[in-house]
Amino acid sequence: MNKSADIENPEISIEDLEEPLTYPVEAFLSPEYAKQERERLWPRVWQMAGRLEDIPEVGDYFTYNILDESIIIIRTAPDTIKAYYNVCPHRGRQLINTPDDENTVRGRKANFVCGFHGWTYDLEGRNTYVLDPEDWKGALNAERTCLSEPKVDTWGGWVYINMDPDCESLRDFLEPAASILDPFELGKMRYKWRQWAIYPCNWKTAIEAFMEPYHVAGTHTQLLKYGEFYAYSKAYGIHGVSGFDERDPDRKNSQSSSVTRAGKGGDPRVSTYELVRENYETVNYSAATETLVNAAKRLVDELPEGTPADQVIAHMMASAKADDAARGVIWPEISPEHMSEAGLAWSLFPNQTILQGVTFALCYRTRPYGDDPNKCIFESYALERYPEGEEPVTEWVNAEPTAEKWGSVLAQDFANMEWVQKGMKSRGFRGTLPNPHQERKITNFHRVLSQYMGTGSPRLLDK
Ligand code: FES
Ligand SMILES: [Fe+2]
């Protein structure tokens, strides 16, 4: 059991998640619950703060804000990252101003000079200057005047922080998800684009919209012509994964659970191309790559009619791999069995989602916006593996939640989230009825959340 989540919750175990369950909606709606998250949840979990690629040089920093906390993540040596609470020990001024309308603040520092009275700190967080220190009659020492540090560590190219001084290691917190995702070499991918918005729903309502493909048939109806979207959903400790469940034995192929798979229709050479292209173009150029689309397009020319789906996929992957190698993008070796186990998309507790491919990933993060349970900070970004030196330069873009800015598929998700937030408030809502097979990631999320919060556990539905 996860160390930080060891508050006993005898009601629901991982095995119980296979049964029909319900979980309470208080977690999405209650201002009191939102306030309690400040103490019970956020200071006790590892939180993804940003990407290492944003701090390549010594002195590069970015800020990560969660509710009223602000943390500075800074590279202090070529191989060392440190994190500091963004506050001057003198009288509490933020060292780096973090305006609400900026998602993060980035820059480079040789040291931190507080804007109020000029106290100064080196990259190691030590105080190097106090004006008139003799006035304190010897009471100022290094311990009183240095910056405070939360825990910090990295995985997959991300930087994580934890405000709990006694927390378990990041690796322990992320397992087994980290080991299953390691072969994708996410740390070698770079931002393709990154966008954020203040969105009118709870941060959990928002992240849950990306936890299950069960909504594809009702929300992304245009995709049904290209693929089958029956899915499984599985808990791995405090984290979870979803994947496509191939029900037709004739169409089984080794990678059918992941985003790169055969499409629907009589000729898999054609349907695979259509599905890959659709995923690429309508999900803001992020659920595939140009290399994959081009390799898929050639399938009809390169393979005879009647080639079975698994061979079509194997051929597409091999030719995309060769095309990428020719331009300097070397694919990691991932066996078909591992590809299948890794599934479609991971949810890392509490608020990080990764839909992974061999050379790309589509990711989401949501955070609360103040104490208002009806608002969140929503972020999505795409990662891709580029030839060295050809990585694009990107910045966070504040973007209205429209199809024009986010692609048509994401806009369809946006078109649900705020109405879920409103609908759940109805006294006519008898409670959630999540799908025990396809939405188990969500019930697992509520199982773990309730352990941190000490309230709101899922419970079995009477049969
Ligand atoms: S608050 Fe920072 S120097 Fe006074
Ligand atoms: Fe969706």
CATH homologous superfamily of domain 1-44+185-261+322-463? Naphthalene 1,2-dioxygenase Alpha Subunit; Chain A, domain 1 (3.90.380.10)
Ligand number with the minimum distance to the CA of 114:
1
Sketch the domain layout of the chain as residue ranges. 1-44+185-261+322-463, 47-166
The pick from 86, 88, 140 for probing ligand 1's pocket by mutation, whose C-beta has the most ligand atoms within 8 angstroms, reads 88
Question: Looking at residue 255, what is its pLDDT?
Answer: 57
Query: How confident is the model over 172-211, as pLDDT tens digits?
Result: 999 999 999 999 999 999 999 999 999 999 999 999 999 9
Question: Looking at residue 284, what is its pLDDT?
Answer: 86
The pick from 116, 129, 145 for probing ligand 1's pocket by mutation, whose C-beta has the most ligand atoms within 8 angstroms, reads 116
Q: Note the residue count of the chain.
A: 463
User: Does the domain made of 47-166 have the CATH classification 2.102.10.10?
Assistant: yes
From the CB of 88, is ligand 1 less than 6 Å away?
yes
Which residue CA neighbors atom 1 of ligand 1 most closely? Answer: 91
Residue 13: exposed, middle, or buried by beta-carbon count in 10 A (0-12, 13-18, 19+)?
exposed
Q: Is the pLDDT of residue 412 over 90?
A: yes
Which atom of ligand 1 lies closest to the CA of 93? 1
From the CB of 209, is ligand 1 less than 6 Å away?
no
Check residues 249 and 193 and name the one with the higher pLDDT.
Answer: 193
Domains 1-44+185-261+322-463 and 47-166 share a fold: no
* 91 CA from centroid of ligand 1 (Å): 5
Check residues 261 and 269 and name the one with the higher pLDDT.
Answer: 269
Q: Is the pLDDT of residue 248 over 80?
A: no
Question: Looking at residue 251, what is its pLDDT?
Answer: 55
Q: Is the pLDDT of residue 119 over 90?
A: yes
Ligand number with the minimum distance to the CA of 206:
2
Check residues 310 and 70 and name the one with the higher pLDDT.
Answer: 70
Average pLDDT, the chain: 94
Three-state helix/strand/coil letters over the chain: CCHHHCCCCCCCCCHHHHCCEECCCHHHHCHHHHHHHHHHCHHHCCEEEEEHHHCCCCCEEEEEEECCEEEEEEEEECCEEEEEECCCCCCCCCCCCCCCCCCCCEEECCEEECCCCCCEEECCCCEEECCCHHHHCCCCCHHHHCCCCCEEEEECCEEEEECCCCCCCHHHHHCCHHHHHHHHCHHHCEEEEEEEEEECCCHHHHHHCCCCHHHHHHHCHHHHHCCCCCEEEEEECCEEEEEECCCCHHHCCCCCCCCCCCCCCCCHHHHHHHHHHHHHHHCCCCCCCHHHHHHHHCHHHHCCCCCCHHHHHHHHHHHHHHHHHHCCCCCCCCCHHHHHHHCCEEEECCCEEEEECCCEEEEEEEEEECCEEEEEEEEEEEEECCCCCCCCCCCCEECCCCHHHHCHHHHHHHHHHHHHHHHCCCCCCCCCCCCCCCCHHHHHHHHHHHHHHCCCCCEECCC
